[in-house]
Amino acid sequence: MADLRTNATAWDELLDADGEARPAALELVAKLRSMGVSELQQRQDLAELDILTMGITFTVYSDGRGIDRAWPFDVIPRVIAAREWRKVEAGLVQRLKALNAFIDDLYNDQRVILDGVFPAELLEESVNYRQECRGVKPKFGAWAHICGSDLVRDADGQFYVLEDNLRVPSGVSYVLENRGISKRAFADVFATQDILPVDAYTDELNKLLVSLAPDGIEYPTVAVLTPGVFNSAYFEHAFLAQRMGAVLVEGRDLVVQSDDCVYMRTIGGLERVHVIYRRIDDVFCDPEVFREDSTLGVRGLMRAWKAGNVAIANAPGSGVADDKVVYAWVPDLIRYYLDEEPLIPNVPTYRCMYEDERNYVIDHIEELVIKPANESGGYGILIGNRASRQELDAAVAAIEADPRNWVAQPILSLSTAPTLCDGVIEARHLDLRPFILTGSTSYVTAGGLTRVALTKGSLIVNSSQGGGSKDTWVVETN
């Protein structure tokens, strides 16, 4: 009998405080308890073999060379009740709707600033605001068409949005592949309950991309623009192109002609491209407008986009809403644009630019996570209760020197789930990244990518730093 243990201070996704299965996880937990660890290990080994033979990889850099690593996967799924998920889903759609209204507003009328809801000086300082996008009006008012929002569950069991990735969020291919693997590993459990499927994502994405094509194009050509085979998410780029029947292109395959249209270099000559799902950052998109040294982009792409001859998803400039300062305003933005209360809370965020919030941060610095406002990828983050006195003093000095550049949040205790680690089942921390699509309609993946920190006690879930993944089951209960 497999022994499932929890971590006393965190919320566990499968078990309640007494070690009993949560209602949605009843069948899974019963199954896990009826099989020995050795049988579970067998299922884990088979899953890893599947991953290897299916070539499910991510790329890490070492000695300047990209190396393909097998995707790390834990066989024990994470379970969410469908009833709870529907609320989360509505909250995510609401959030992305407000963020798109905000982006569209910033590049056009800027009502949000005129009405005093968002401070003008923050926009001036934003490193992700692209002047070149002023006045552009993309179809459906949608700029950030594809969003990956990171959710965490605190000790009270409440989901919080930790951040919204609006630039080039990755990981969705693993949601689909993880499901394929877990269907084989737990075929018996799938047979006895309703687990919402995730396979429709690529079809929904394809419909969305096709709908963005310039008017009057009946059969648009959709391309996925990848930085190339050395990018850590290349597997995903190829996967999505393959599933959608789209063309997987690199910058060097594309050219913008004097008619301001985008073409790809095919064996039959140049062929027009109508929609580009870009998986490169917008500053690399077009050396004519942004970084001149970019070899990944396409000269003239911005011209073509502004002329309405090609759709780009996510639109250039969408990143303006993907920043830790804007994050703190999202609840206000939801109220301002939609006249609704946020359905999923933000993690409370203290903005050091305001004196009262700054004083609170300085007084409670041991209890907070301090984050620079404009860095991404976890750089410059200080966790108060794990820092030395010296580090804390340095942080206070930095905040006082440049208050606008800092925000702070309470230290959350990420929820856990039982995870198979070196032949033992132990609780490990995890988060969740659902993917949200928006154009004329919206779509949210059932569940999303559960990332798990495989090191005991660790909160770092990134696959490049020892993180793994789990399949996420959204289960219908009666």
Rounded Cα gap, residues 271 and 110, in angstroms: 38
Q: Is 19 in the site for other proteins (CB under 8 A)?
A: no
- The residue whose two tokens read 């949605």 is 24
Residue among 193, 203, 205 at smallest CA distance from 169: 205
Q: Is 295 in the site for other proteins (CB under 8 A)?
A: no
Q: Is 154 in the site for other proteins (CB under 8 A)?
A: no
E strands, 175-259, in order = 222-225, 247-249, 254-256
Q: Within positions 356 to 375, which residues make up the interface with other proteins, using CB under 8 A?
A: none
Q: Is 249 in the site for other proteins (CB under 8 A)?
A: yes
Q: Is 172 in the site for other proteins (CB under 8 A)?
A: no
Rg (CA), the chain: 23
Q: Is 250 in the site for other proteins (CB under 8 A)?
A: yes
Q: Is 269 in the site for other proteins (CB under 8 A)?
A: yes
Q: Is 260 in the site for other proteins (CB under 8 A)?
A: no
Q: Which stretch binds other proteins (CB under 8 A): 196-204, 262-270, 302-310, 336-344?
A: 262-270
Q: Classify residue 6 by its DSSP letter.
A: -
For 108, list phi and psi in degrees, rounded to 5.
-120, -100
Q: Which stretch binds other proteins (CB under 8 A): 139-147, 261-269, 317-325, 420-428?
A: 261-269
Q: Within positions 376 to 415, which residues make up the interface with other proteins, using CB under 8 A?
A: none
Query: Do the strands 350-351 and 406-410 form a parallel or antiparallel pair, or are they unpaired?
Result: antiparallel
The Cα diameter of the chain in Å comes to: 70
Q: Is 253 in the site for other proteins (CB under 8 A)?
A: yes
Least distance from other proteins to the Cβ atom of residue 295, Å: 14
For other proteins, the closer of residues 54 and 155 by Cβ is 54
Least distance from other proteins to the Cβ atom of residue 246, Å: 7
Helix, strand or coil, per DSSP, at residue 470: strand
Q: Which of 239, 277, 336, 406 binds other proteins (CB under 8 A)?
A: 239
Q: Which of 134, 265, 386, 456 binds other proteins (CB under 8 A)?
A: 265
Q: Which of 64, 135, 268, 457 binds other proteins (CB under 8 A)?
A: 268
Least distance from other proteins to the Cβ atom of residue 267, Å: 5
Least distance from other proteins to the Cβ atom of residue 220, Å: 13
Residues 6+ apart with CB under 8 A from 400: 362
Rounded Cα gap, residues 97 and 340, in angstroms: 11
405's tokens: 């550049």
Rounded Cα gap, residues 352 and 399, in angstroms: 7
Q: Decide: 223 and 271 in contact? Cβ < 8 Å.
A: no
Mask: binding to other proteins, 44-73, rule CB under 8 A, as x and -?
Answer: --------xxxx------------------
333's tokens: 């933005």
Number of residues that bind other proteins (CB under 8 A): 30
Q: Within positions 317 to 346, which residues make up the interface with other proteins, using CB under 8 A?
A: none
Q: Within positions 209 to 238, which residues make up the interface with other proteins, using CB under 8 A?
A: 221, 224, 229, 238
Q: Which of 26, 255, 383, 411 binds other proteins (CB under 8 A)?
A: 255
Least distance from other proteins to the Cβ atom of residue 231, Å: 12
For other proteins, the closer of residues 60 and 113 by Cβ is 60
- Residue 269 burial by CB count (10 A; 0-12/13-18/19+): exposed, middle or buried? exposed
For 317, list phi and psi in degrees, rounded to 5.
95, -10
Q: Decide: 161 and 94 in contact? Cβ < 8 Å.
A: no
For other proteins, the closer of residues 34 and 242 by Cβ is 242
Q: Decide: 444 and 200 in contact? Cβ < 8 Å.
A: no
- Number of Cβ within a 10 Å radius of residue 464: 13
Query: What is the contact surface with other proteins in residues (CB under 8 A)?
Result: 52-55, 221, 224, 229, 238-239, 241-242, 245-250, 252-253, 255, 257, 263-271
